[in-house]
Amino acid sequence: MKIFAAVCFVLTLSACATPYGKYGIAGGYTDSRIDENTFSISVDTNGFTNQQTTSMHGLYRAAELTVQNGYDFFVIVSDAQNPTGMSMAMPGSSNTTINSYGSRATATTTYTPGAIVPVVFPNSTLTIKSFKGSKPTDNPRAYDARSVMTYLGPQIGVDGSKK
């Protein structure tokens, strides 16, 4: 029964991951322009989103900003992942069974202790510089913005081919 409850809990939580979008109640991205072609992007997601997805949200937003501002590729100047965490206390439970035999009754109470569940809130922060022209082939931190949108979009639930 405990395994079934744990599986149900995990399935319920997986449906609550932070969707890609501007910062809201479930998390999301914020960004700011630092100079003409430099941008800072921060993505904060909830405890139901993994770090890889959070990082993909940041890369996708970098690609969007690059294209929206008339550039073709971007270079990651700096990036950091600073997850925060907390512990959540899950309540315990008790169950009392009463058996009666004629005028006599006995009660048996069974206790199930609560559990402490760690929750991690992933974060990804990027600083990028955007440029026009072809992506340099000798820089592993350079990304073609339209390619990033095409390939990452479906993975994070965004249709990048329409942008």
Per-residue model confidence as pLDDT tens for the chain (163 residues)? 555 444 445 445 445 888 898 998 888 999 999 999 999 999 999 888 889 999 999 999 999 999 999 999 999 999 998 888 888 888 999 999 988 888 888 889 999 999 998 888 899 999 999 999 999 999 999 999 999 999 999 999 987 555 5
Burial class of residue 151 in the structure, from the number of CB atoms within 10 Å of its CB (0-12 exposed, 13-18 middle, 19+ buried): middle
**Integer Cα distance of 74 and 137 in angstroms:** 12
Residue with tokens 């006599």, as numbered in its chain: 104
Q: In b/e form, how buried is each residue of 23-32, taking b as 16+ CB within 10 angstroms?
A: eeeebbbebe
Please, what is the end-to-end C-alpha distance for the chain in angstroms?
A: 48
Domain boundaries, the chain: 2-162
List, in sequence order, every beta strand (DSSP E) within 3-156. 27-35, 38-45, 73-80, 84-90, 93-101, 104-112, 115-121, 123-131, 142-144
Residue with tokens 């501007």, as numbered in its chain: 22
Rounded to two decimals, the pTM is 0.73
Provide φ and ψ at 12, rounded to 5°.
-65, -45
CB-based contacts of 71: which residues, under 8 Å, 6+ apart? 37, 130, 131, 132, 145
pLDDT, position 13: 47
pLDDT, position 162: 52
pLDDT, position 135: 94
